[in-house]
């Protein structure tokens, strides 16, 4: 069992058993802080009851109350559902891929971290599948804070015309071929600070309107023409600290728009520095999750 599956299974069990396994949460450190007795007072807890139902974007909570002092404790009891109308398929019986949308859905999509299978167990949602949002008129896509997505598949958002910005969760390792090709309104691509991204696929951002992009330090490979025809790009916020780090990326042909030849690009590359840079040069850091120039 993977760690995520175990946690998801435990969560599902707790939902079914309600208050019967209160002690379990402490060991996992997952259900929130209940252990707030004082030396003078030990809480006398009620049963767990639903405090808030899960919504499209928010996890559902349960609460219990001390019948003596009125103190309330809460714990997560159900994951946010994600946008209603997304289609899924099981991968190896233990993960889900988002495969598409129901006709007539709106343009705002939230990708959940987990989804229940037929047995009521939560399984991680790990992939946006091939052509899941191909030519879909999406305006906003967001991911759960605890997103489990590792792969954005080939052509996943191909010509999904009205996306303007996206924050890609840290769990993503691979962006597939043509994943955002022809997203002409896509201007800003930000990766979470602890990104695990390794591969940017062929033509992944071809023909987008990107003006700034983060390239995480974890990136090992940028495939051919990933940024071709991106004439708008002005800033590359690279997560590595030096030019040597950048040169270690396996960079295929057709990526001059983020390259070093000033006759082929207008983009400035900024190197990451968490603290005030000690040398001259172009440096950046995150401020509240937003790339910010020193």
**H-run or E-run covering 262:** none
Tell the smallest beta-carbon distance from residue 60 to Zn ion (Å).
Answer: 24
Give CA–CA dist 291/275, Å, rounded: 13
Pick 67 or 102: Cβ nearer Zn ion: 67
Contact 170, 190 (CB under 8 A): no
Taking the C-alpha atoms of residue 50 and residue 111, their distance in angstroms, rounded to an integer, is 24
Closer residue to Zn ion (CB): 43 or 285 = 43
List of residues 6+ apart from 154 with CB closer than 8 A: 130, 131, 176, 177, 178, 179, 201
Question: CA 32, CA 51: separation in Å to the nearest integer?
Answer: 14
- Do residues 268 and 262 make contact, with C-beta atoms less than 8 angstroms apart? no
Could you tell me if 187 and 211 are in contact, meaning their C-beta atoms sit under 8 angstroms apart?
Answer: yes
Given the complex with Zn ion, which of 22 and 123 has the nearer CB atom? Answer: 22
Nearer to Zn ion, 21 or 69 (CB): 69
CB of 31 to Zn ion, least distance (A): 18
Nearest residue (CB) to Zn ion, 64 versus 115: 64
Which residue lies nearest Zn ion, judged by its C-beta?
66
CB of 71 to Zn ion, least distance (A): 5
Shortest distance (Å) from residue 81 CB to Zn ion: 33
Interface ranges with Zn ion (CB under 5 A):
43, 66, 68-69, 71
- Residue 233's alpha-carbon distances to 89, 102, 168, in angstroms, are 36, 34, 18
Q: What is the separation of C-alpha 253 from the centre of its chain, rounded to a whole number of angstroms?
A: 28
Structure-token pair, residue 285? 């850091």
Nearer to Zn ion, 18 or 66 (CB): 66
The encoded tokens of residue 77 equal 């009891």
Nearer to Zn ion, 23 or 104 (CB): 23
| Collapsed DSSP state (helix, strand, coil) of residue 109 | strand
Min CB(288)–Zn ion separation in Å: 36
Radius of gyration of the chain (CA): 22
- The minimum distance between CB 33 and Zn ion, in angstroms, equals 14
List the structure tokens of 80: 């946010």
Beta carbon nearer to Zn ion, 39 or 104: 39
Smallest separation, CB 27 to Zn ion (Å)? 22
| Cβ pair 35, 52 in contact under 8 A | no
Q: How far is the CB of 44 from Zn ion (least distance, A)?
A: 6
User: With contact defined as beta carbons under 8 Å apart, do 246 and 269 qualify?
Assistant: yes
């Amino acid at each position: 069992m993977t760690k995520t599956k175990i946690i998801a299974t435990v969560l599902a069990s707790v939902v079914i058993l309600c208050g019967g396994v209160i002690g379990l949460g402490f060991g996992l450190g997952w259900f929130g802080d209940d252990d707030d007795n004082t030396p003078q007072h030990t809480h006398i807890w009620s049963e767990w009851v639903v405090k808030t139902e899960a919504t499209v974007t928010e996890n559902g909570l349960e609460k219990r109350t001390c019948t003596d002092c009125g103190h309330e404790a809460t714990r997560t009891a159900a994951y946010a559902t994600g946008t209603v109308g997304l289609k899924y398929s099981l991968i190896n019986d233990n993960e889900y891929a988002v495969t598409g949308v129901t006709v007539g859905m709106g343009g705002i999509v939230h990708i959940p971290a987990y989804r229940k299978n037929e047995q009521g167990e939560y399984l991680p949602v790990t992939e946006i599948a091939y052509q899941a949002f191909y030519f879909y008129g999406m305006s906003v896509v967001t991911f759960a804070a605890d997103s489990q997505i590792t792969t954005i598949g080939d052509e996943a958002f191909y010509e999904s015309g009205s996306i303007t910005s996206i924050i890609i969760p840290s769990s993503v390792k691979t962006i597939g071929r043509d994943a955002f090709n022809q997203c002409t309104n896509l201007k800003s691509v930000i990766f979470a600070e602890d990104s695990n991204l390794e591969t940017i696929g062929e033509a992944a951002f071809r023909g987008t309107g990107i003006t700034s992009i983060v390239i995480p330090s974890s990136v090992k490979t940028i495939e051919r023409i990933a940024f071709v025809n991106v004439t708008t790009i002005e800033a590359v916020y690279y997560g590595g600290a030096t030019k040597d780090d950048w040169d270690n990326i396996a960079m295929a042909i057709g990526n001059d728009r983020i390259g070093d030849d000033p006759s082929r690009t207008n983009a400035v590359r900024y190197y990451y520095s968490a603290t005030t840079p000690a040398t001259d040069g172009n440096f950046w850091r995150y401020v509240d999750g937003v790339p910010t120039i020193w």
